[in-house]
Structure 1
Amino acid sequence: MSYNRREFLQHLGIGALQLGVISAIPASAWASSLSYGQLPRSSPESQGMSAKGILDFANAVEADRLNLHSLMVLRQGKVVAEGWWAPYAPDLKHTLYSLSKSFTSSAIGFAVAEGKLKVDDKVISFFPEDKPATVSANLAAMRVRDLLSMSTGHDKDTTGKLRESGSDNWVKSFLAQPVEHEPGTFFVYNSGATYMLSAIIQKLSGQTLLEYLKPRLFQPLVIEDVDWEVDPKGINTGGWGLRVKTEDIAKFGQLYLQKGEYNGKRILPAAWVEEATRSHIMSKGSNRKPEDDDWQQGYGYQFWRCRNGAYRGDGAFGQYCIVMPKEDMVVAITSETGDMQAILNHVWNHILPTVKATGVPADKGIQSEMQKKLGSLALPLTPGKPASDLAAKMNGRSFKLAENELKINKVSFEFDKGWCLFRVTDDKGEHLVVNGLGNWKIGLTDLSTLPLKLVLTPVPGEKKTKIAANGAWIDDTTFEMTWRFIETAHYETVRCKFEGDNLQVEFKRSLAIIGNTKDPRPVLSGKAIA
């Protein structure tokens, strides 16, 4: 079985990775290299910051293995630092998880400004055909503002009930849930509530949330190539599932920092920005002391209050849009971490203190060190050796797999200098992944990313997704691949253990690795095909 050159190059598509091309450009060159819609660039010192704090932040998050994917720091409206941990890159979208909620809140702000609704409107008034036969007093009292502030009165997050109800009508399923508390009095983080905001926008406008936001928010901020996951009826999920680039997160933060203005134009009413980002209800934190916990500072309209007078939109595993009004600063971060508080601690401990009231003298050595660091960020490759004596014996071999719930019936390997082609055949056909040996190979795959996600909702129309893959021999008989689905937050490892003519294939998704839990998928067993 050979992999011809044309097929190989077509599959790679995006090409081999080039590290740090954007981040390594000197600040003085930015003015001439910006493309349409990009934020202006500057050095930290010329905007009253020290490069050392940003350098210290990058070193600290790596030392703590917090698995950041990107960082962008804005001061006074200019990007003063940016970096992407390879294989993540500036031109890639990234799953935002619950950071999507802050964009959904903005849609309600537009709708209020256009007179389409008021925040005191009752939720059931929008869906008379979907309300239950008996409407409880608490359900009847639930307002749009209660959806916005996570104070719907539900005792638990409704999201699981929506997905597990067996109905494709999530609105009806939401309204059918018991409302145990008086709305407006009891906080519980509730992505189902944000989904209902999306459903309200679609009901009022006849457009999906994404369609509604394009001319109002995304086009004025020059945020392009956006997508958003949907429920079974095509309603955008609202509380999760938006994908934009890191710079788009930063633009959104800058819009809010400027109280709804962008490039000198009024986009959102200043009164809405003020209302959305103040505390409406006390949120529930962890077992940390309130003074150490950024989840115990209050909750707004789909925005969290933070320590240090800041506020943020945030999403699972460390997707952040942090706005610091006093410092005139925005920090955008994407990651896949199991310790979201640790990232915020490093922002407060390293980036925040670098802001000075007066000019900061330029330290060329530190500037150069910061640029070098941000221009060469990279996540670790699969640990191990790029070659093994066994590779030549396994080259071109196929293995028939025993019947399994994943419906994978065959896998094969092709090893060559610098790469390994892995083919997997299941009930949907053959899928190819090209793994770099000692480097990342970037390409496209039609393998489903659903098993890797926290919430199993699809991006409409997505047939292929971008992937970065590499492999290594972790011992003489075990080849392990790391597949990063680089427009999501997630990755997985695929471990292939050879024993004579027998093969075992074990999948482990990153959520299981972070949580130190077992991946729910079975270990597959196979025999070599003669």
Structure 2
Amino acid sequence: MKNYILDDLIKSVKTQNLHVLNVVVRNDGDIIAEHDFEEEKPTLLWSVSKTFTSMAIGIAENEGYFSLNDKIVDYFEDDIIQINDNLKKMTIHDLLCMSTGHAGCPLMKAMDENKSLDDISKLFFEEPVTFEPGTHFLYNNAATYMLSKLISITTGYSLKKYLMPRIFQPLGISDPKWNCDVNGISLGCSGLYLTARELSKFGQLLLNHGVWNKKQLIPAEYIIQATKCQIDTSEFNEYFATADHKQGYGYQIWMNSYPNSYRMDGLYGNYVVILPDKNAVITYVSNEPSNMTGVLELTWNTIVNKL
């Protein structure tokens, strides 16, 4: 183990008073350093869950359930009350890269207005499709829910059940907790609980282009597409946005400011940073309420040059 490479990170966490819980560093396939600020336990990963939903889509496409270019209206006819030209154009690909054409996230708007979340599909299709799909990035939790629902209606399994034999069990994750079901459909955009070590395995799986123990769990070509820029995010202007939010978005995966790298990204400083040029995966499980991006930037400021 090379835990000394985390010395500067540990100092920086304490200096900045960042609420990081666990850090795991993998290099060349092995854990080379880790530090627990608090005892490791399964923790809610928030939007890191989205990347698992994305990989379910890649596997299901490969199994022949649908194509990414399929129009979503063909799968959700019962949920659609009114259809327009932009909605007709929306594809599964558009759901994956947050380019549905909505001007606002239907799920977040409903929460802000204290509306019922019993029918997220209805909220999704009621929201005006202002832009032509594929042309405009909007971080859209409801889009991820629709991907989860697509898995359920095409495969007959919930998102977790679908992924159990395909990802979780091969990685040695026996029974992960995945909360947030809406009428039997996983929310998809959040709800998954894992430990930092478990999560780091998933990051390694992506770095390996879907191979684990010499078995291809996720199609390599899907991961190649998922982990490169599919939609421009240079205009992303949330209050917390940094350079790491303006490099583009893949399939439920963010591109980083560090060249040729990408990340899974969850609220409160939950990140899996994948650095192909360093053959490394850095995993953070955190509960940082006010400086989430400070956790991510520990990577660039304290670790990357030591790999």
TM-score by length of 1: 0.55
How far does the alpha carbon of each residue in 1:121-143 deviate from its partner, in whole angstroms, 9 at most, with x for none?
111111111111x2011111111
The structure 1 residue matched to 2:80, chosen from 127, 131, 137, is 131
Query: Match of 2:68?
Result: 119
The structure 2 residue matched to 1:331, chosen from 272, 275, 282, is 282
The structure 2 residue matched to 1:343, chosen from 295, 301, 304, is 295
Query: Match of 1:380?
Result: none
Does the 8 Å contact 2:147/2:188 carry over to 1?
yes
Q: Percent identity at matched positions?
A: 37
Query: Match of 1:82?
Result: 34
Report how far residue 245 of structure 1 moved: 1.3
Q: Say which SS state the counterpart of residue 94 (structure 2) adopts.
A: helix
AA partner of residue 263 (structure 2): R
Q: Highest CA radius of gyration, 1 or 2? A: 1
Does the 8 Å contact 1:112/1:118 carry over to 2?
yes
C-alpha spacing 1:168/1:341, structure 2 compared with 1 (3 Å): closer
| Inter-partner Cα distance in structure 2 for 1:67 and 1:159 | 28
| Inter-partner Cα distance in structure 2 for 1:313 and 1:268 | 16
Taking the TM superposition and a 5 Å limit, the aligned residue runs for 1:320-469 are 320-337=271-288, 338-355=290-307
| Inter-partner Cα distance in structure 2 for 1:98 and 1:167 | 18
AA partner of residue 112 (structure 1): E
Query: Match of 1:251?
Result: 201
How far does the alpha carbon of each residue in 1:407-427 deviate from its partner, in whole angstroms, 9 at most, with x for none?
xxxxxxxxxxxxxxxxxxxxx
Does the 8 Å contact 1:161/1:173 carry over to 2?
no
C-alpha spacing 1:336/1:122, structure 2 compared with 1 (3 Å): same
Unaligned 5+ runs, structure 2:
none
Does the 8 Å contact 1:225/1:244 carry over to 2?
no
Identify the structure with the greater strand proportion: 1
Query: Match of 1:170?
Result: 120
| Inter-partner Cα distance in structure 2 for 1:105 and 1:136 | 26
How far does the alpha carbon of each residue in 1:312-335 deviate from its partner, in whole angstroms, 9 at most, with x for none?
001011111111000010011011
Report how far residue 186 of structure 1 moved: 0.5
In the alignment, does 2:22 pair up with 1:73? Answer: no
How far does the alpha carbon of each residue in 1:74-106 deviate from its partner, in whole angstroms, 9 at most, with x for none?
1111111112222xx23x211010000000000
The structure 1 residue matched to 2:88, chosen from 116, 124, 140, is 140
Taking the TM superposition and a 5 Å limit, the aligned residue runs for 1:217-236 are 217-236=167-186
Query: Match of 2:58?
Result: 109
In the alignment, does 2:163 pair up with 1:194? Answer: no
How far does the alpha carbon of each residue in 1:431-467 deviate from its partner, in whole angstroms, 9 at most, with x for none?
xxxxxxxxxxxxxxxxxxxxxxxxxxxxxxxxxxxxx
Does the 8 Å contact 1:312/1:320 carry over to 2?
yes
Taking the TM superposition and a 5 Å limit, the aligned residue runs for 1:254-293 are 254-283=204-233, 284-286=235-237, 293=243
| Inter-partner Cα distance in structure 2 for 1:68 and 1:205 | 37
| Inter-partner Cα distance in structure 1 for 2:52 and 2:282 | 16
Query: Match of 2:264?
Result: 313
TM-score by length of 2: 0.94
Report how far residue 169 of structure 1 moved: 2.2
Does the 8 Å contact 2:45/2:194 carry over to 1?
yes
| Inter-partner Cα distance in structure 2 for 1:172 and 1:127 | 10
Q: Say which SS state the counterpart of residue 272 (structure 2) adopts.
A: strand
C-alpha spacing 1:52/1:247, structure 2 compared with 1 (3 Å): closer
| Inter-partner Cα distance in structure 1 for 2:261 and 2:148 | 26
| Inter-partner Cα distance in structure 1 for 2:168 and 2:276 | 22
| Inter-partner Cα distance in structure 1 for 2:104 and 2:261 | 27
In the alignment, does 2:9 pair up with 1:57? Answer: yes
How far does the alpha carbon of each residue in 1:326-376 deviate from its partner, in whole angstroms, 9 at most, with x for none?
001001101122222222222112110002xxxxxxxxxxxxxxxxxxxxx
Does the 8 Å contact 1:304/1:313 carry over to 2?
yes
Does the 8 Å contact 1:246/1:333 carry over to 2?
yes
Report how far residue 53 of structure 1 moved: 3.4
| Inter-partner Cα distance in structure 1 for 2:236 and 2:126 | 28
Q: Say which SS state the counterpart of residue 321 (structure 1) adopts.
A: strand
Q: Say which SS state the counterpart of residue 175 (structure 2) adopts.
A: coil
Query: Match of 1:185?
Result: 135
How far does the alpha carbon of each residue in 1:381-422 deviate from its partner, in whole angstroms, 9 at most, with x for none?
xxxxxxxxxxxxxxxxxxxxxxxxxxxxxxxxxxxxxxxxxx
AA partner of residue 322 (structure 1): V
| Inter-partner Cα distance in structure 2 for 1:214 and 1:194 | 19
More displaced stretch, 307-316 vs 163-172: 163-172
Query: Match of 1:207?
Result: 157
AA partner of residue 336 (structure 1): N
Does the 8 Å contact 1:165/1:173 carry over to 2?
no
C-alpha spacing 1:123/1:177, structure 2 compared with 1 (3 Å): same
Q: Say which SS state the counterpart of residue 283 (structure 2) adopts.
A: strand
AA partner of residue 293 (structure 2): Q
C-alpha spacing 1:229/1:162, structure 2 compared with 1 (3 Å): farther
C-alpha spacing 1:211/1:120, structure 2 compared with 1 (3 Å): same
Report how far residue 229 of structure 1 moved: 2.0
| Inter-partner Cα distance in structure 2 for 1:320 and 1:167 | 27
Does the 8 Å contact 1:217/1:267 carry over to 2?
yes
| Inter-partner Cα distance in structure 1 for 2:271 and 2:238 | 22
